[in-house]
């Protein structure tokens, strides 16, 4: 049985949107499905996996496990085409150090990349990718 992998992301964040587009481009097999943290599906998954409210950027749910921050990013990279899977080697770096770098980017993402307007947040992905989105 194939393990379901769901990427939860901040639907209002330009950096998070670009990150999802990056993943989709390097995941032609479709290992991942997607839902915004703000969606009903995202809220249900947050509750089910006990993801704290202060986690507001990207989460990976893989089977019955939920990964956050740098650990989520590295587990996502592990499944990507090209040499991106080699980024998983950074898992040996102590989590507090990895998460400090992740938090710095997450805290500044709106300042550096901006937020989506309501019109932009409602934009639909191409039909062939749309089926990977849960809601």
Mean pLDDT computed over 50-56: 86
Q: Report pLDDT for 113.
A: 86
Q: What is the model's pTM?
A: 0.86
Dihedral angle, C-alpha 85, 89, 91, 97, nearest 10 °: -110
36 closest CA partner among 67, 53, 58: 58
Mean pLDDT is lowest, of 22-26, 93-97, 121-125, for 121-125
Residue 125: closest CA among 25, 5, 7: 25
Q: Are 13 and 58 in contact (CB under 8 A)?
A: no
């Amino acid at each position: 049985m194939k393990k379901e992998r769901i990427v939860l992301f901040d639907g209002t964040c330009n950096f998070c949107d670009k990150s999802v587009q990056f993943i989709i481009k390097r995941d032609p097999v479709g290992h991942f499905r997607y839902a915004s943290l703000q969606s009903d599906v995202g809220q249900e998954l947050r509750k089910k996996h006990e993801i704290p409210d202060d986690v507001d950027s990207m989460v990976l749910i893989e089977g019955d496990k939920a990964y956050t921050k740098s650990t989520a990013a590295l587990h996502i990279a592990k499944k990507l085409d090209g040499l991106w899977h080699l980024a998983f080697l950074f898992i040996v770096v102590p989590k507090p150090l990895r998460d400090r770098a992740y938090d710095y980017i997450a805290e500044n993402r709106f300042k550096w990349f901006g937020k989506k307007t309501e019109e932009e947040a409602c934009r639909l992905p191409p039909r062939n990718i749309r089926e990977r989105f849960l809601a």
